[in-house]
């Protein structure tokens, strides 16, 4: 077990839920409370992880290959970024973490959950977030936001049913871990969501 002097927060949600907008605000807000705020993302967060991200977002692959590469990137991310930062007392914010694998690879792609648990046990061990903010929107809203977006990556191009499954898997995770995962209704105006985030952060 690692010494946890810092705090670990993750952001989750289906593509188009508005994570990026809230990440920018949250970072500024947390910088007022913590001397060091480390912002990172998955897949990615390290030089190798970013190369794996590039492959994951562009190349068609078997769903097990996809899961293995996600966890390969995560192993590097934990070792090089997350664990050292938590140990030195930083506030770490990761744009996605292991819940995304349950949502996308198990929920979306139908990967066997026992395989996921084995990968999780092997890779994550006991480094779980103190708080996970799950930005939840309907598929219609998410797709509308994505349509206004730049070029879509391999995940963003998936059909509506895929995102329905991903969203449901996220909500099931939240029901299993109600203390850690906070579901944020992300269809409301940004300023209202920020008020809720402020209260949530104050409570940890
Ligand atoms: P995303 O945060 O959506 O990046 P951006 O906002 O720049 O588009 O992450 C990229 C994609 O990776 C996203 O569609 C979900 C997917 N993903 C998984 O399928 N499994 C995982 O474990 C992680 C971390 C991400």
The ranges assigned to domains in the chain are 7-202
State whether the beta carbon of 155 lies less than 6 angstroms from ligand 1. Answer: yes
104 within ligand 1 shell (Cβ under 6 A): yes
pLDDT (average), residues 88-105: 98
Quick one: pLDDT at residue 1? 63
Q: What is the mean pLDDT of the chain?
A: 96
pLDDT above 80: residue 133: yes
Judge if the beta carbon of residue 136 lies within 6 A of ligand 1: no
The reported pTM is 0.96
Task: List the residue whose alpha carbon is closest to atom 22 of ligand 1.
Answer: 101
Render pLDDT for 167-186 as a digit per residue (tens, 0 to 9). Answer: 999 999 999 999 999 999 99
Mutating to test ligand 1, I would choose from 11, 21, 23, 42 the residue with most ligand atoms within 8 A of its C-beta, which is: 42
- Specify the pLDDT at position 4: 76
The mean per-residue pLDDT over the stretch 82-106 comes to 98
198 alpha carbon – ligand 1 mean position (Å): 25
Is 7-202 assigned to CATH 3.40.30.10? Answer: no
* Higher pLDDT among residues 1 and 139, named by residue: 139
**Average pLDDT, integer, range 115-136:** 96
Torsion sign across C-alpha atoms 163, 164, 169, 172: positive
Q: How confident is the model at residue 204 (pLDDT cuts 50, 70, 90)?
A: confident
**Separation of CA 200 and ligand 1 centre (Å):** 24
| Structural tokens at position 6 | 């810092």
158 lines ligand 1 (CB under 6 A): no
Measured from the Cα of 153, ligand 1's closest atom is 8
User: At residue 2, does pLDDT exceed 70?
Assistant: no
Give every CB contact of residue 142 below 8 A, 6+ residues apart in sequence: 14, 15, 16, 17, 163
Ligand 1 atom nearest to 70, measured from its CA? 22
| Residue 67 scores a pLDDT above 90 | yes
Residue 194 is predicted with a pLDDT of 97
Evaluate whether 131 touches 180 at the Cβ level (below 8 Å): yes
Indicate if the pLDDT at residue 117 is higher than 80.
Answer: yes
Nearest to 29 by CA among 200, 204, 198, 182: 198
């Amino acid at each position: 077990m690692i010494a946890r002097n810092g705090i670990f927060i993750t952001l989750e949600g289906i593509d188009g839920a508005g994570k990026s907008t809230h990440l920018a605000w949250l970072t500024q807000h947390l910088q007022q409370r913590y001397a060091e705020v480390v912002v990172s993302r998955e897949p990615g967060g390290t030089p190798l992880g970013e190369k794996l991200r590039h492959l994951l977002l562009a190349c068609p692959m078997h769903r097990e290959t996809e899961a293995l590469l996600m966890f390969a990137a995560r192993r590097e991310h934990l070792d090089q970024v997350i664990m050292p930062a938590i140990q030195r007392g930083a506030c770490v914010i990761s744009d996605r973490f292991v819940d995304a694998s349950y949502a996308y690879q198990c929920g979306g792609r139908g990967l066997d959950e026992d395989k996921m648990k084995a990968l999780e046990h092997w890779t994550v061990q006991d480094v779980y977030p103190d708080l996970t903010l799950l930005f939840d929107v309907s598929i219609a809203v998410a797709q509308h936001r994505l349509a206004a977006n730049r070029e879509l990556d391999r995940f963003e191009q998936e059909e509506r049913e895929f995102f329905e499954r991903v969203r449901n898997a996220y909500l099931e995770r939240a029901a299993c871990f109600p203390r850690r995962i906070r579901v944020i209704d992300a269809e409301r105006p940004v300023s209202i969501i920020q008020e809720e985030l402020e209260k949530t952060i104050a409570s940890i």
